[in-house]
């Protein structure tokens, strides 16, 4: 199994495209996805990932902690931590808050912005991904901006054609278009992370760097595809074709924790997802993530979340009821 897809699956990403905009130079706006932007699609998630897809023209985007980045037609920029940002034909202009420019959605369509000085035209689609997964660590290890060209790489053709198809539906006012674009955005996030991992320098470490290492990447795939197996470091090293010591050192140096600790933490993430998203018994969840007894699972879960699984499930149910 693809470890990256597996991780993203546990995040239970949902998404939507809430705005299409047409700007003409000179223009400059401030932007940040707000919880109310999600309301037509889902309750506000705990964590938001914003993105802009430039379908025509160009723009410059800047945050408080990131230098200006030029984004051309056919490029998508993601904000994994939903930082507030300025975007425009230039960022040294006086910005207007984009939320004050939004025209409400019509029947079957989506909200729009039409704004600017009448010069060079730029068109963008603005969307988001949301997750309620506690401590979605993958977002914390990504840069604050991720830019990809939809025509680059082997997957570029399906990204571009899917966006073009969905954008064509939008132009016709078909109500299913936001759902199409939302699912595409989830796949887009996985592709963006995959491309970023490939771009890391050879000396980089961390989970993303581990994915591209032949030995550690293979180990991650085995741990994710056979999570219930009673792995030992020795057996995993044999599967990879390395000595125990060489494998353990390589894995720990890249991932930041030993293989068995990584597996234990991963099992807890999966358990938390299933406790929150299903009515399965705790005993069944414990067995299906690799624990031989409910008591052992309860102890491990308490160490990870500072409370037993039943109490954590009730707490999450209360949070969902409020949202």
Residue-wise pLDDT tens digits, 218-270: 898 888 878 899 999 999 999 999 999 999 999 999 998 999 999 999 899 88
Over range 187-193, report the average pLDDT.
79
List the beta strands (DSSP E) in 91-137: 96-97, 111-116, 121-131
Cα–Cα distance list, 192 to 4, 164, 176, 208, 260 (Å): 11, 18, 25, 12, 28
The continuous run of DSSP H or E covering 19 comes out as: strand 14-24
Tens digits of residue pLDDT in 87-146? 999 999 999 999 999 998 766 567 899 999 999 999 998 888 887 765 456 776 788 898
Over range 65-69, report the average pLDDT.
90
Query: Using CA atoms, how far apart are residues 16 and 49, in angstroms rounded to an integer?
Result: 11
By the 8 A CB rule, do 122 and 58 touch? yes
Q: What is the dihedral of CA 243, 244, 249, 250, to 10 degrees?
A: 50
Query: Using CA atoms, how far apart are residues 220 and 213, in angstroms rounded to an integer?
Result: 10
Tokens of 88: 């425009």
Q: What is the dihedral of CA 290, 299, 251, 231, to 10 degrees?
A: -30
Report domain extents, the chain.
3-199, 208-322
Q: For domain 3-199, give the CATH superfamily.
A: Jelly Rolls (2.60.120.10)
- Which ranges in the chain belong to alpha helices (H)? 3-10, 35-38, 137-140, 156-171, 177-199, 207-212, 214-225, 233-240, 244-255, 259-277, 282-288, 294-305, 309-322
| Those residues with Cβ within 8 angstroms of residue 311's Cβ, 6 or more apart along the chain or in another chain | none
Query: Using CA atoms, how far apart are residues 283 and 247, in angstroms rounded to an integer?
Result: 33
Sign of CA dihedral 173, 175, 180, 185: positive
pLDDT at 45: 76
pLDDT at 1: 44
88 closest CA partner among 142, 112, 52: 52
Over range 191-213, report the average pLDDT.
80
Place of tokens 């200006």: 68
Between 84 and 34, the higher pLDDT residue: 84
Which of 72-81, 164-173, 178-187, 194-203 shows the lowest mean pLDDT across its residues? 164-173
Q: Which pTM was predicted?
A: 0.69
Tell the CATH topology of 208-322: Arc Repressor Mutant, subunit A (1.10.10)
């Amino acid at each position: 199994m693809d470890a990256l897809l597996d991780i993203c699956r546990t995040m239970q990403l949902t998404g939507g495209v809430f705005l299409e905009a047409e700007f003409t130079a000179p223009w400059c706006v401030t932007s940040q996805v707000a919880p109310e932007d999600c309301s037509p699609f889902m309750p506000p998630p705990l964590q938001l990932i914003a993105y802009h897809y430039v379908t025509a023209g160009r723009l410059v985007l800047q945050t408080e902690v990131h230098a200006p980045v030029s984004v051309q037609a056919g490029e998508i920029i993601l904000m994994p931590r939903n930082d507030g940002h300025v975007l425009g034909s230039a960022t040294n202009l006086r910005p207007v808050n984009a939320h004050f420019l939004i025209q409400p959605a019509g029947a079957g369509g989506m909200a729009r912005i039409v704004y600017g000085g009448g010069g060079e035209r730029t068109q963008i689609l603005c969307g988001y991904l949301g997750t309620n997964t506690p401590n979605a660590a993958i977002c914390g290890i990504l840069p604050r901006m991720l830019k990809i060209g939809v025509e680059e790489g082997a997957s570029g053709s399906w990204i571009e054609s899917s966006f073009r198809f969905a954008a064509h539906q939008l132009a016709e006012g078909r109500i299913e278009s936001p759902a199409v674009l939302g699912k595409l955005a989830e796949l887009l996030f996985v592709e963006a992370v995959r491309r970023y991992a490939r771009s890391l320098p050879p000396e980089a470490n961390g989970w993303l760097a581990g994915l591209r290492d032949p030995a550690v990447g293979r180990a991650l795939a085995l741990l994710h595809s056979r999570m219930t197996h009673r792995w030992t470091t020795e057996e995993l090293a044999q599967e990879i074709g390395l000595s125990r010591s060489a494998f353990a050192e390589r894995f720990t140096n890249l991932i930041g924790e030993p293989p068995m600790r990584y597996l234990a933490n991963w099992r807890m993430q999966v358990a938390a997802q299933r406790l929150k998203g299903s009515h399965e018994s705790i005993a069944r969840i414990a067995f299906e993530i690799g624990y031989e007894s409910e008591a052992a699972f309860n102890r491990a879960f308490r160490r990870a979340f500072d409370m037993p699984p039943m109490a954590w499930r009730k707490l999450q149910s209360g949070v969902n009821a409020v949202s």
